[in-house]
Chains A and B, each alone.
Chain A
Amino acid sequence: GDSVTQMEGPVTLSEEAFLTINCTYTATGYPSLFWYVQYPGEGLQLLLKATKADDKGSNKGFEATYRKETTSFHLEKGSVQVSDSAVYFCALSDPLGATGANSKLTFGKGITLSVRP
């Protein structure tokens, strides 16, 4: 079945440091890939997405490139801020998976990012 693997956390960085959060996936078909962010006490918000190979999703300084050859969708940001402290989830939606034509999301375990001033 579909699965998403994220690097182990938590991650603590100083402000303005470079961020990479690794994400790899296994899927039956041709999935869409997403990064969601969850700020403390809130629901999930879509950060960025990519729907086909070599697409780059970007938002708020974050970027991720859909790499089919390595089945990866790593999240990067050149200079993190304290306000980026949150939990980050990598997810996929595989319309051609075993469960048929639906759009359910399969999530990784999430990683907590803390940014120090």
Chain B
Amino acid sequence: DSGVTQTPKHLITATGQRVTLRCSPRSGDLSVYWYQQSLDQGLQFLIQYYNGEERAKGNILERFSAQQFPDLHSELNLSSLELGDSALYFCASSVGTVGDEQFFGPGTRLTVL
């Protein structure tokens, strides 16, 4: 158990819909990262927050957005869903220092029908 929790575990929805994925980091970790794992693209970095502020953006679509709240949990919002958004979405957390270890949650499996 990494100490990072993600909800829900599975999500099935239809094209055009909007969903919210939730992540609670390990106690004491200030950085939260979101990654997408798909068969064709592999594991890709989406976005990072540090202590409530956006720190870095990767290959995140404009239809996707995220935020980190004062209690440090984070939410990833996916809207106008397409079939190609079906993937495993991982959240990771770290203390926040450069080069430190990231601890990954169990992931949310999103299926768009």
* Cβ < 8 Å to A, chain B residues 42-81: 42-45, 48, 50, 55-58
Interface size on B, residues (CB 8 A): 30
- Contact of B2 with A45 in the complex, beta carbons under 8 Å: yes
Query: Which residues on B sit within 8 Å (CB–CB) of A79?
Result: none
Q: Contacts A95-B98, A104-B45 hold; do A43 and B55 have CB atoms under 8 A apart?
A: no
A107 within 8 A of B: yes
Query: Which residues on A sit within 8 Å (CB–CB) of B48?
Result: 102-104
- In the complex, what residue of chain A is closest to B96 when comparing beta carbons? A103
Q: How large is the interface on A (under 10, 10 to 19, 20 to 34, 35 or more residues)?
A: 20 to 34
Query: Which residues on B sit within 8 Å (CB–CB) of A104?
Result: 33, 45, 48, 56, 58
- Contact of A103 with B90 in the complex, beta carbons under 8 Å: no
- Contact of A95 with B102 in the complex, beta carbons under 8 Å: no
- Contact of B104 with A45 in the complex, beta carbons under 8 Å: yes
- Contact of B104 with A103 in the complex, beta carbons under 8 Å: no
Query: Which residues on A sit within 8 Å (CB–CB) of B55?
Result: 102
- Contact of B56 with A102 in the complex, beta carbons under 8 Å: yes
B105 within 8 A of A: yes
Shortest distance from the beta carbon of B10 to any chain A beta carbon, whole Å: 11
Query: Which residues on A sit within 8 Å (CB–CB) of B103?
Result: 46
- In the complex, what residue of chain A is closest to B4 when comparing beta carbons? A43
Query: Which residues on A sit within 8 Å (CB–CB) of B28?
Result: none
Partner of B56 from the list A45, A51, A100, A108 (CB cut-off 8 Å) is A100
- Contact of B98 with A105 in the complex, beta carbons under 8 Å: no
A89 within 8 A of B: yes
CB within 8 Å of A: which residues of B? 2, 4, 31, 33, 35, 42-45, 48, 50, 55-58, 90, 92, 94, 96-107
CB within 8 Å of B: which residues of A? 32, 34, 36, 42-46, 49, 51, 89, 93, 95, 99-110
